[in-house]
Copies of this chain bind each other. A is one copy, B any other.
Amino acid sequence: MKDEPVRQRILAEATRLFADRGFEATSVQEIVVSAGVTKGAMYHYFDSKDDLLHEIYARVLRMQMERLTRIADGPGSLKQRLHRAAADVVETTAANLDDSKIFFRSIHLLAPETQKSVRAERRRYHERFRDLVAEGQRARIFSDRVPADLVVDYFFGSVHHLGTWFHADGPLTGAQVGKHFADLLLTSLGAGDVDE
């Protein structure tokens, strides 16, 4: 922890504190004290407190987008890939709960421009996921009674709210919740077993 690069340590502590107390309720003082550095160091690596928040978002978005692309373009039937993608996003969200909490609590506090670019990135992710559902609906593998966009909003609502109830030391692991959520998604699309 001590020999970890300064920049990373600041980011890690900021993430922890933002998730704990909220962005606005956390002062730059608290962050630098927690990270064992000074204000000078922090403003050497980041432009502003907002920039710190933006970096946290960018890191998460990059990671999730990469994983989704790999799964969606990977092998397996459509059912299998959708199930895999759904379970994966739940599992990785559970594994990075702090990032998730910060994301949905604080995005409105960013500068309008920054907010716009973050939302755009988020939308691309959403659309990639929706395309999987829409493809299945066109192929009559999934029911099209509910529009694909709405199904995806429905599903991701559940994922994003993991931060409000999930605990790493609770009765269920992230992987278990992921499997259940993916099952619920597939079932609600009228798809039978994944292995059909």
**Are A146 and B190 in contact (CB-based, < 8 A)?**
no
> Hey, which chain B residues are within 8 Å of A106, CB to CB?
22, 105
Each complex incorporates copies of this chain amounting to 2
Q: Known contacts A22-B108, A104-B105, A151-B184; can you find 20 more A-B pairs with CB under 8 A?
A: A22-B24, A24-B24, A24-B25, A25-B109, A105-B105, A143-B187, A146-B180, A146-B183, A147-B180, A150-B172, A150-B177, A150-B180, A150-B181, A153-B158, A157-B159, A157-B161, A157-B162, A158-B161, A184-B188, A188-B188
Q: Mark A92-125, 1 if CB is under 8 A from B, else 0.
A: 0000000000001110110000000000000000
Which residues in window 151-195 of A have CB below 8 A to B? 151, 153-162, 164-165, 172, 177, 180-181, 183-185, 187-188, 190
> Hey, which chain B residues are within 8 Å of A159, CB to CB?
157
Q: Is A145 an interface residue (CB 8 A)?
A: yes
Interface residues of A (CB under 8 A from B): 21-25, 104-106, 108-109, 143, 145-147, 150-151, 153-162, 164-165, 172, 177, 180-181, 183-185, 187-188, 190
A86 to B130, CA, bound (A): 23
A192 to B104, CA, bound (A): 34
A86 CB, min distance to chain B CBs, angstroms: 11
A22-B108, A109-B22 are known contacts. Are A181 and B161 too (CB-CB below 8 A)?
no
